[in-house]
Structure 1
Amino acid sequence: MALYIAIDIVFIAVTLVAAKDSLHPLSDEFISLINSKQSSWKAGRNFPLDTPLTHIKALMGVVKNPLSPKLPAITHDADLITSLPENFDPREKWQNCPSLNEIRDQGSCGSCWAFGATEVMTDRVCTYSNGKKQFHYSAQDLVSCCTDCGDGCEGGQPPTAFLYWKNDGIVSGGQYNSSQGCRPYEIPPCEHHVDGPRPKCNGFDKTPECLNKCTAGNVEYKKDKHRAKEVYSIHGEDIIKAELYTKGPVEADFIVFEDFLNYKSGVYSHTSGGAVGGHAIKILGWGVENGKKYWLCANSWNNDWGDKGFFKFQRGDNHCEMERDIVAGEPDLDGL
């Protein structure tokens, strides 16, 4: 009889754990579970509870293709690496680069791969010129016109996006409804926060048509195309840090788990919930908070999500495969 009772207790315990793990990823109960299991980061409500999970999954637009080209890897001087500070925020080093503070909004489109890329490209025009030149690369032009990158709003590959920058060039373009540059973003933003002013996130937008002409600004499409001198990959925590410190932000992608959707502050590490998909973001810098190492990152779900659009992510152990596929490049500043 005691054996049967023990088995029943184990079965009940396993059932309760399974029930907790199957909580709705946007529910108050799931948020409470996250906060009860760790203290390095704070979970809270970002997406409204009735946001369709199909919409959230569609935001994860990184598509892995084993046949995609591999970018050459670079390295950095050992003496530089040993001299790097414990904390680094590029917004303090390059104070005259406003794009480092920008949080974009991909809307209802799986274009994170293009946003992370064009954010890095935009930043690097400024960092490479020490603030003397500014060029806001168009995420719309990349999403719509790079057919080798993937399927636009249905996902793409960051390395191929950088190759497109080098080989074909990308025009300028601001955020939705901005009239900035040649091709501003055409997909409207939607609300990733319960109290924000934007329309509700529903459905999934189709990839806008590739137009080899400007839809805004007084520029000519072909003349507005600007390219990279070289593009490459970066591997290893120390090499990534040296790259950030000397040249500027990089693009990374990682596996998003359900708890990440509820990030508000602190150093994120996966705690609860299943995988949602692959997501691309921009890494700006690094630091240590309460003894925990982190990467400083910018998301593309508008500035109502997370910590004003930014987040800190566990650093140094390829957490959620964040450090596996890092890409960047050197802009060609001629003509800018």
Structure 2
Amino acid sequence: MRLKKEDTEVTKFGKETLQIEADVDPRSVIGNGFCRKTDYKEFLAQPVEKDVEKLTGQAFVDYINEHQSFYKAEYSPDAEAFVKARIMDSKFLVTPKKEEVLMDVYGDDPPESFDARTQWPECRAIGTIRDQSSCGSCWAVASASAMSDEMCVQSNSSIKLMISDTDILSCCGLECGYGCQGGWPIEAYRWMERDGVVTGGKYRQKDVCKPYTFYPCGNHKDDPYYGPCPGYLWPTPKCRKSCQRKYKKTYQEDKHFATRSYFLPNNERSIRQEIYKNGPVVAAFKVYEDFSFYKGGIYVHKWGIQTGAHAVKVIGWGRENGTDYWLIANSWNTDWGEDGYFRIVRGTDNCEIERQMVGGIMRV
């Protein structure tokens, strides 16, 4: 349906007037005469209304959904507390030194769209969504998840295992960070180079050295109910240099190592080349209020104050309705987002997601 000439009118948005032209698709016109921008660059270039800062809860979510169509936000009274218990302090975001960045990223030209799950179907760990529970262990969980994938990809699918996030979280120490309060993915990779990391898996998994310490709190569609989420962060688990009972290997025998770790250049083509060649990578990014309410679609941050930082695993990329995006595995179980995944706009360093990506070469 198109607006007819007689329907043309002048409406007000803030102090400016907006003419709704005769051939504008009415689906692109929303409350107060504001036009949705189908181009994310135009959308990001728009000034932020001052009154938005005062919005909270359902009103904030309604504003997000009314003023953009890239992603859907959904209000939940527990959403902000849920996210707060799973992200880390902004101090764990770093600016890589020049010597820490891998500048010579070579490889075939990456395709326009890519999904590591379908590229390497035998590496089933790529499609595993972990659950960090009520602990700011995203840095360890995302690192262990990417290491597992890199191990499989770089061994031509001959090494299929899950690296232990608990081993990194509990035993890397202050060099890596502060356990459940946050840490640095690059240091997790460097620790794997120096000390090695044992195998891990989901909570109570039996066939690994160190499964994840914390149960997936709350109700989840793909997990049994173990108990409610606490109203506080779990304490960082103590370092135990031993495997669980009845596991067939010793702690030292079960170690797996990296031979090299590095930051990737802040260049989306180089990042795509790295993933296409060596497997998924870790990304750390700034978290803002609007991310707490993400439900699905391509996340483009525009509104809300920064609430912390988060680390995730990047497994692919693509384009939808003219918007380029990264495909990302989160660690908040499969109920969150798009079955545990989310997409974020690619090529603009939105939330600084492209400036702190980490990868490595595994010993295979």
Shorter-chain TM-score range: 0.7 to 0.9
Match of 1:250 among 274, 281, 284: 281
Task: Specify the SS of the correspondent of 2:114.
Answer: coil
User: Whole-Å Cα distance in 2 between the matches of residues 280 and 187 of structure 1?
Assistant: 18
Measured in 1, the distance between the counterparts of 2:309 and 2:269 equals 24
Residue aligning to 2:269: 238
What code does the residue aligned with 2:178 have?
A: D
Listed as ranges, the matches of 1:31-180 within 5 Å are: 31-45=61-75, 48-50=76-78, 53=81, 56-61=83-88, 63-64=91-92, 71-77=100-106, 80=108, 83-147=109-173, 148-180=175-207
Q: Deviations over 1:202-230 (max 9, x none)?
A: 32100010001112422200111111011
Q: Which has the higher contact order (CA 8 A, sep 6+)?
A: 1
Letter in 2 for 1:28: Q
User: Any conservation in 2 of the 1:192–1:302 contact (CA below 8 Å)?
Assistant: no
Matching residue's letter, 2:269: D
Match in the other structure for 1:21: 53
CA distance in 2, matches of 1:200, 1:23: 29
Matched-pair contact (CA < 8 Å) for 2:204–2:212: yes
Measure the CA separation in 1 of the matches of 2:300 and 2:306. 13
Q: Equivalent residue for 2:343? A: 312
1:184 matched to 2:184: no
CA contact (8 A) 2:96 2:263 kept: no
Give the 3-state SS of the residue equivalent to 2:210 in structure 1: coil
User: What SS is found at the alignment partner of 2:200?
Assistant: coil
* 1:309-328 deviations in Å (ceiling 9; x for gaps): 00111111111100011111
Task: Compute the RMSD of aligned alpha carbons.
Answer: 2.5
Cα deviation for residue 114 of structure 1 reads 0.4
Cα distance in 1 between the residues matched to 2:58 and 2:222: 16
Give the CA deviation at 1:31. 1.9
| Count of residues in Structure 1 that have an aligned counterpart in Structure 2 | 311
Percent identity at matched positions? 39
- Measure the CA separation in 2 of the matches of 1:317 and 1:330: 27
Match of 2:19 in 1: none
Q: Which runs of 5+ in 1 are unaligned?
A: 1-8, 11-16
**AA in 1 matched with 2:140:** A
SS at match of 1:244: helix
**After superposition, what is the alpha-carbon deviation per residue over 1:72-116, rounded to whole angstroms, capped at 9, x for unaligned?**
424233x73xx3211111112111111111000000110000011
Q: Would the alpha carbon gap of residues 66 and 273 (structure 1) be closer, same or farther in structure 2, given more than 3 Å must change? A: closer
Residue 95 to residue 213, structure 1, CA distance change in 2 (3 Å): same
Which of 301, 317, 325 is matched with 1:270 structurally? 301
Residue 39 (structure 1) shift: 0.4
Sort the Cα spacing of 1:56 and 1:146 in 2 relative to 1 into closer, same or farther, 3 A.
same
The answer (yes or no) to whether the contact 1:118–1:139 under 8 Å persists in 2 is yes
SS at match of 1:222: coil
Kept in 1, the 8 Å contact 2:209–2:251? The answer is: yes
Counterpart CA distance in 2 for 1:332 and 1:100 is 18
Change in 2 beyond 3 A, CA 1:194/1:211? closer
Give the distance between the partners of 2:304 and 2:228, measured in 1 at CA.
24
Equivalence for 1:212: 241
| Aligned counterparts of 1:84 and 1:330: Cα–Cα separation in 2 | 19
Paired residue for 2:352?
A: 321
1:272 Cα offset (Å): 2.2
Contact 1:172 1:183 in 2 (8 A): yes
In 2, distance between residues paired with 1:179 and 1:33?
Answer: 47
Runs of 5+ unmatched residues, structure 2: 1-13, 16-48
Q: Which amino acid in structure 2 is aligned with residue 39 of structure 1?
A: S
Judging changes above 3 Å, is the alpha-carbon distance between structure 1 residues 72 and 181 closer, same or farther for their aligned structure 2 residues?
same
Q: Distance in 2 between matches of 1:238 and 1:250?
A: 14
Q: Take 1:192 and 1:43, find their aligned partners in 2: how far apart are those partners? A: 21
- Return the TM-score normalized by structure 1: 0.86
Is the 1:227–1:332 Cα contact (8 Å) retained in structure 2? yes
2:125–2:161 CA contact under 8 A, matched in 1: no
Higher Cα Rg, which structure: 2
